[in-house]
Amino acid sequence: MYSNVRIVMMYTSHPGNIGAVARAMKNMGLGELCLVSPKSFPDIVAERRAAGAKDILADAKVVETFDEALEGCVAVVGASARGRKIPWPVMNPRDCAKKVREFALLPKTGSDQENQNKVAIVFGREDRGLTNDELQRCNYHVHIPTNPDYGSLNVAMALQVVAYELRMDYLLYSGLGDATQAAPTLSPENDGWDEALATSDEVEGLIGHLEAVMIKTEFFDPENPRQLIPRLRRLFQRSRMDKIEVNIMRGFLNTVLKAIKDKC
Amino acid sequence: MYSNVRIVMMYTSHPGNIGAVARAMKNMGLGELCLVSPKSFPDIVAERRAAGAKDILADAKVVETFDEALEGCVAVVGASARGRKIPWPVMNPRDCAKKVREFALLPKTGSDQENQNKVAIVFGREDRGLTNDELQRCNYHVHIPTNPDYGSLNVAMALQVVAYELRMDYLLYSGLGDATQAAPTLSPENDGWDEALATSDEVEGLIGHLEAVMIKTEFFDPENPRQLIPRLRRLFQRSRMDKIEVNIMRGFLNTVLKAIKDKC
């Protein structure tokens, strides 16, 4: 995961939101949290909401001013609702993740490489977000595209979305083993299925078997075929069956034949 | 925004999570919420957390069973953590949004157009998500790529991420203009298929029917189920059957039963 991200929460009123942010950060692989003058911290409510992410709270840095929170950062991204007086460079969360990555990939020099190319992503107060002064301290704004009729996103939810995009970008971009987590749809045609794909002739064998049993039970009349067999073929060939599925269906058809015969 | 989405919450313990989900839904432009046996609803805690989204709570449908929640849906997506015994078609939230869009763009016929092509997105209990049985009722699973060391995502956070991707996809896609889209693979999910998609409960009816006949012919021993029924469910739910295919298979199963009975 990108290690050059510092999450900053400004003047947070409700400790539950700090806990929820810590949990969401750890879920998405982020670690560095900085709190600017939180109303109550540490707080048992925050710890309860953090669940298994109490380590993020324990490591969180508490400072008094915005300036202190931004110390050492090469870029500052402020979370913003729409409609500020002065237009500012604004990104959606996906582009924000790309921007963070660009900074993460910058070359590092000297001894303290861990803290280089650090980007602060800043979230404002629960009731009114960041002030205009604070937003103008930011290099970029990140805006989550909400419903225009109801755009008031909870601060932890906003962090969750931004952090999710950071993780998706990291997984998709890094192409590491980890990237399978953001992999495409799993189906028998992809790596990761538990059984081998049936071959086309194995599926055809099943369809022939099914046709024979359908004739035997008088469900299918070859004199009046209509589109029955093409429809079955379309269904089973489309499904990309695996070998065990073919075996199950054929085993079942054998017991049907046997049940009919035994009763004769 | 796509109007063919129904959010389903299963056996939710904490009313606060229901409220947070309602708020996140409205933020992202979703409207339809179905609650399966919530522990406490309506509840003042839910209303407080919902903030300006109390209308979503007021309109929420409360039902007792999973089956009722899925009524009329043509596809079911279950939110899932990793590591289930049987791999299932699994998508990340971005691909999930694309899949929902594909259904949303299917042609609609008849009088009740509003409720056509409905996709249920299902979220499980706070403590352990969806059960294996519930997951096997789904056509697809959606997995949010979390930190492997700490993957326990709060249910409202998970909904927020999935709903955010729905909104992003909607915004990006509607801006593109659909004429530029390449022709997709033809399947019952696409325009141009000759029969209407079977609903989730119609496919479930077929699976139950098949199970009964398999017991009758002694192919299936419920005392020793192994993974037989989940495998059948995976096959038929994955295939996105159309209505006539379900009817053919059920008609066939009826003649099997009759053939066995007649010979007695």
A150: nearest CA in chain B?
A: B27
Residue limits of CATH 3.40.1280.10 in chain A:
5-182
Architecture of domain B200-262: Orthogonal Bundle (1.10)
User: Is A45's pLDDT higher than 70?
Assistant: yes
Residue limits of CATH 1.10.8.590 in chain B:
200-262
Is the complex ipTM higher than 0.85?
A: no
**pLDDT for position B262:** 73
Query: Shortest CB distance from A27 goes to which of B146, B248, B255?
Result: B146
First to last CA, chain A: 68
Q: What is the C-alpha separation between A226 and B100, in angstroms, rounded?
A: 34
By mean pLDDT, which of A20-34, A44-58, A206-220, B177-191 is the weakest? B177-191
Contact (CB<8Å) B86/A194: yes
Q: What is the C-alpha separation between B104 and B5, in angstroms, rounded?
A: 9
**pLDDT for position A82:** 64
Has domain B5-180 been given CATH number 2.60.120.10? no
Residue B22, phi then psi, degrees to nearest 5: -60, -45
Q: Report angle CA A189, A191, A192 to the nearest 5 degrees.
A: 110
Bridge partners (DSSP) listed for residue A75: A119
Q: What is the C-alpha separation between A158 and A152, in angstroms, rounded?
A: 10
Query: Shortest CB distance from B256 goes to which of A1, A194, A217?
Result: A217
Tell me: the pLDDT tens digits for A125-176?
Answer: 999 899 988 888 888 889 998 888 888 899 999 999 999 999 999 988 876 5
Mutate to test the interface with B, among A165, A176, A235, A247 (most CBs of B within 10 A): A235
Mutate to test the interface with B, among A154, A167, A174, A253 (most CBs of B within 10 A): A154
**pLDDT for position B195:** 80
Residue limits of CATH 3.40.1280.10 in chain B:
5-180
Has domain A5-182 been given CATH number 3.40.1280.10? yes
Q: What is the C-alpha separation between A91 and A80, in angstroms, rounded?
A: 10
Q: Are A240 and A187 in contact (CB under 8 A)?
A: yes
A103 pLDDT band, cuts 50/70/90, is confident
Query: Shortest CB distance from B26 goes to which of A150, A181, A213?
Result: A150
What residues of chain A lie within 8 A of the CB of B48, using their CB?
Answer: none
**pLDDT for position A175:** 65
What residues of chain B lie within 8 A of the CB of A252, using their CB?
Answer: 214, 217, 219-220
Q: How far is CA B71 from CA B57, B67, B96, B100, B115, in A?
A: 20, 6, 20, 17, 10
Q: Which amino acid is residue B54, in one-letter code?
A: K
A218: nearest CA in chain B?
A: B255
Residues A62-88 as b/e (b if ≥16 CB within 10 A, e otherwise) read: eeeebeebbeebebbbbbbbeebeeeb
Residues B227-253 as b/e (b if ≥16 CB within 10 A, e otherwise) read: ebbbbbbbbbbbbbbbebbbbbbeebb
What residues of chain B lie within 8 A of the CB of A192, using their CB?
Answer: 87
CA atoms within 13 A on the CB side of A196: 6
Beta-strand (E) ranges in B81-231?
A: 90-91, 119-123, 140-142
Query: Shortest CB distance from A146 goes to which of B28, B140, B218?
Result: B28
Residue B163, phi then psi, degrees to nearest 5: -70, -35
Q: Are B200 and B73 in contact (CB under 8 A)?
A: yes
B249: nearest CA in chain A?
A: A232
Beta-strand (E) ranges in chain A?
A: 5-10, 32-36, 61-63, 73-79, 90-91, 118-123, 140-142
Structure tokens belonging to residue B260 = 């066995």
Query: Shortest CB distance from B144 goes to which of A164, A235, A245?
Result: A164
List, as ranges, residues 203-232 from B with C-beta within 8 Å of A: 213-214, 216-220, 228, 231-232
> CA of B101, closest CA in chain A: separation in Å?
15
> CA of B175, closest CA in chain A: separation in Å?
14
B185: nearest CA in chain A?
A: A238
Other CB atoms closer than 10 Å to residue A136's CB: what's the count? 13
Query: Where is pLDDT greater, at A241 or B78?
Result: B78
Q: Mean pLDDT throughout A73-85?
A: 78
Could you tell me which of A96, A208, A184 has the C-alpha nearest to residue B93?
Answer: A184
Which strand (E) or helix (H) includes residue B62?
strand B61-63
List, as ranges, residues 96-125 from A with C-beta within 8 Å of B: none
Residues B106-144 as b/e (b if ≥16 CB within 10 A, e otherwise) read: beeeeeeeeebbbbbbbbbbbeebbeeebbbbbbbbbbb
List, as ranges, residues 19-58 from B with C-beta within 8 Å of A: 20, 23-24, 26-29, 51-53
Phi-psi region of A263 (alpha: psi -120 to 50; beta: other; left: phi over 0): alpha
What is the 8-class DSSP label of residue A186?
Answer: P
Which residue numbers in chain B have pLDDT < 50? Answer: 176-185
List, as ranges, residues 80-99 from A with C-beta within 8 Å of B: 92-94
User: Is A241's pLDDT higher than 90?
Assistant: no
Mutate to test the interface with B, among A217, A243, A246, A260 (most CBs of B within 10 A): A217
Q: What is the C-alpha separation between A160 and A141, in angstroms, rounded?
A: 16
Which strand (E) or helix (H) includes residue B36?
strand B32-36
> CA of B263, closest CA in chain A: separation in Å?
5
Tell me: the pLDDT tens digits for A178-225?
Answer: 434 444 455 665 556 778 778 777 888 999 999 999 999 999 999 998
Q: What is the C-alpha separation between B14 and A17, in angstroms, rounded?
A: 16
For the CA atoms of chain B, what is the radius of gyration?
20
Q: Is A260 on the interface with B (CB under 8 A)?
A: yes
What residues of chain A lie within 8 A of the CB of B147, using their CB?
Answer: 1, 26-29, 167
Could you tell me which of B124, B159, B166, B162 has the C-alpha nearest to residue B20?
Answer: B159
Mutate to test the interface with A, among B164, B168, B170 (most CBs of A within 10 A): B164
**pLDDT for position B85:** 59
Q: What is the C-alpha separation between A150 and A159, in angstroms, rounded?
A: 18
Q: Are A49 and B49 in contact (CB under 8 A)?
A: no
Q: Is A235 on the interface with B (CB under 8 A)?
A: yes
